[in-house]
Amino acid sequence: MKLFFIYFYCAVLSLFYIAALPASFVICCFKKYRRAVPSRFFLYKNMPFSNKKGIWLHACSYGEVSSLTPLIHAIGSDNVNISVITKTGFDKACQICKSENVRFLPYEIFLPFWIKKQRALVVTEAELWLMLFYIAKKRGIKTILINARISDNSYHKYKKFKWFYKILFSFVDEVHAQSETDKKRLAFLGAQHIKVSGNIKSSLLPKITKRYKINNIYKRVITLASTHIGEEAALLEQLSLADLSNTLIIVAPRHPERFEAVHKLLQSWANSNGKIYGKLSKEGLESQNDIVLCDTMGELVNIYAITNITILGGSFLEGIGGHNPLEPAAFNNSIISGKFFFNQKELYAKVDGIMICGIQEVGEKLKGELPKASTAYLENTNDIVKTILNA
């Protein structure tokens, strides 16, 4: 019965693939997808991993790939292969691992021909692809899911397809959940051999790669970090209500494809409020620009190091679920967050002093005395490393 479903599943995926072919060719024309789509859906320059004794790590995008850094250091980058879904994830993986060991994960119907023998497959968070786990098991690869979580919002959707996830989890050897709640939810969906190992993102100490200096006319730095569409405009409106004298504002959108749209927004806001606007990539932070667009990936930790107040995006509008507060807390920033951080509950619980409010309350918060956030929490990944190395 299980095998019949897998054949049926592949047949349905094949029909979707054929139907989507015209759109796929069009999407390839867009710069954002020019590398990922041909690699994933046409196997263009996307050969299977050749190292049969390698540890294969799979993550979706930039943040998940970054979280693998301590594991890669512990395992040794020479022994690691990484597959990803997004271009930003691919670029980050090439920074922390040999570029010849980095691939885009092919569309599922190609995996039976693409996956070769590996020592272990380690998948992060919610990258639950049935054919990925099934074919890996068929090839005799140990399968491990790490940093596994199921948010409150997602759980209701997962429960509707419990039968599907029961099949999928039958091909997963071991699961490392972020919390006891995640463990219970995963067990309900059919996962077995579950351990609570915490969030590996909390084992990655923020490391400064560049020390920024700011113009001495600025006495305070406010950073709008990891913002999403709709948040920048609303937060800038709130900033207009606060005293911004001697204040440098840095805006770091979550997704690089939005840099141009945010650039236009910040330029307009600066003109309306008598501020000077610039880009990090062009003028840096030592100029007299009052508001700066962080249009370079991988700079947020360096910016936290000079920030006084972080307004943490992804939390002010429903549906996103928040972002990691440990990094700004590590630099004792004051942190203002929205109320929608359901994907980061565990990490929020490890930080003292986060101010939670609605987006219309941010301006008032900025008028008062703000506490410094702090975290003494640092988790190790020894459990996961031992599991991988013993594969």
Rounded mean pLDDT, 9-23? 95
Q: Which residues of 282-297 are buried (b: 16+ CB within 10 A; e: fewer)?
A: eeebeeebbbbbbbbe
Per-range mean pLDDT, top range of 169-173, 203-207, 280-284: 169-173
pLDDT > 90? residue 295: yes
- The span from the CA of 64 to the CA of 352, in Å, is 24
CA-nearest of 233, 231, 211 to 299 is 211
Asked whether residue 372 is assigned to any structural domain, the reply reads: no
391 pLDDT above the threshold of 90: no
Does residue 378 surpass a pLDDT of 70?
no
* Residue 21 is assigned to a structural domain of this protein: yes
What one-character DSSP code corresponds to residue 352? B
Please indicate, yes or no, whether residues 26 and 148 belong to a single structural domain of this protein.
Answer: yes
If you count DSSP H runs as helices and E runs as strands, how many of each does the chain have, helices first?
Answer: 18, 14
Q: Are residues 28 and 173 in the same domain?
A: yes
Contact 270, 291 (CB under 8 A): yes
Q: Would you say residue 235 lies in a domain? A: yes
User: Looking at residue 29, what is its pLDDT?
Assistant: 81
Q: What is the pLDDT at residue 28?
A: 83
Say which residue, 50 or 370, is predicted with more confidence.
370
Residues 246 and 141 in one domain: no
Residues 193 and 227 in one domain: no
Res 307: pLDDT: 97
When mean pLDDT is compared across 24-33, 208-217, 323-332, the lowest value belongs to 24-33
- Same domain membership, residue 143 and residue 10: yes
pLDDT band with cut points at 50, 70 and 90 for residue 142: very high
Nearest to 253 by CA among 287, 292, 290: 292
CA dist 88 and 72 (Å) reads 18
Q: What is the model's pLDDT at position 380?
A: 63
pTM of the complete model: 0.78
**Residue 228 structural domain:** 220-367
| 309 Cβ neighbours under 8 A, 6+ residues apart | 220, 221, 222, 223, 333, 334, 335, 336, 366, 370
Summarize pLDDT for 73-92 with one digit per residue, the tens: 888 888 899 999 999 999 99
Task: Give percent of the chain with pLDDT exceeding 70.
Answer: 98
Quick check: 379 pLDDT over 80? no
Residue 359: CATH number of its domain: 3.40.50.2000
CA distances from 376 to 148, 203, 264, 273, 384 (A): 23, 12, 39, 39, 22
Amino acid at 273: N
256 and 186, same domain (yes or no): no
| 129 and 234 inside one domain | no
Co-location of 56 and 163 in the same domain:
yes
Does 71 score more than 90 pLDDT? no
> Quick one: pLDDT at residue 31?
79
Contacts of residue 285, defined as CB under 8 A and 6 or more positions apart, other chains included, come to 212, 213, 214, 215, 248, 250, 292, 306
The answer to whether residues 151 and 224 belong to one domain is no
Burial (CB < 10 A; 0-12, 13-18, 19+), residue 362, is: buried
Q: What's the confidence (pLDDT) of residue 357?
A: 96
C-alpha to C-alpha distance for 294 and 279, rounded to whole angstroms: 6
Residue with more model confidence, 390 or 34: 34
Question: pLDDT tens, 308-352?
Answer: 999 999 999 998 999 999 999 999 999 999 999 998 988 898 899
Average pLDDT for the chain = 92
326 and 267 assigned to the same domain = yes
pLDDT of residue 346: 85
Residue 387 lies in a domain: no
Please report the sign of the dihedral spanned by the C-alpha atoms of residue 378, residue 334, residue 68, residue 131: positive
Cα dihedral 72, 201, 230, 277 sign: negative
What is the mean pLDDT of the segment spanning 44-70?
90
For residue 152, what pLDDT band results from cuts at 50, 70 and 90?
Answer: confident
For residue 204, pLDDT over 80 is answered with: no
Q: Does the pLDDT of residue 213 top 80, yes or no?
A: yes
Write the CB contacts of 53 (distance below 8 Å, at least 6 apart in sequence): 79, 118, 119
280: in domain: yes
Q: Are 173 and 120 in contact (CB under 8 A)?
A: no
Q: What is the average pLDDT across 253-280?
A: 95
12 and 81 part of one domain? yes
Cβ 280 vs Cβ 295: under 8 Å: yes
Q: For residue 204, is it within any domain?
A: no
Give the pair of three-digit tokens for residue 67.
């979280």
- Contact call for residues 71 and 381 (beta carbons, < 8 A): yes
Residue 98's pLDDT is what?
87
- Of 141, 139, 132, 145, nearest in space to 172 by CA: 145
Q: Per the domain annotation, does 209 fall within a domain? A: no
Looking up residue 129, the CATH number of its domain turns out to be 3.40.50.11720
Q: Which two tokens stand for residue 127?
A: 């990258």
Q: Are residues 10 and 53 in the same domain?
A: yes
Q: How many domains does the chain have?
A: 2
Q: If you ran DSSP here, which 8-state letter would residue 258 be given?
A: G
pLDDT per position as a tens digit, 106-140:
999 999 999 999 999 999 998 999 999 999 999 99
Q: Is 285 helix (H, G, I), strand (E, B) or coil?
A: coil
Domain end: 164, 198, 232, which one?
Answer: 198
What pLDDT, in 10s, does the model give residues 160-188? 999 999 999 999 999 999 989 999 999 99
Is 144 part of any domain? Answer: yes
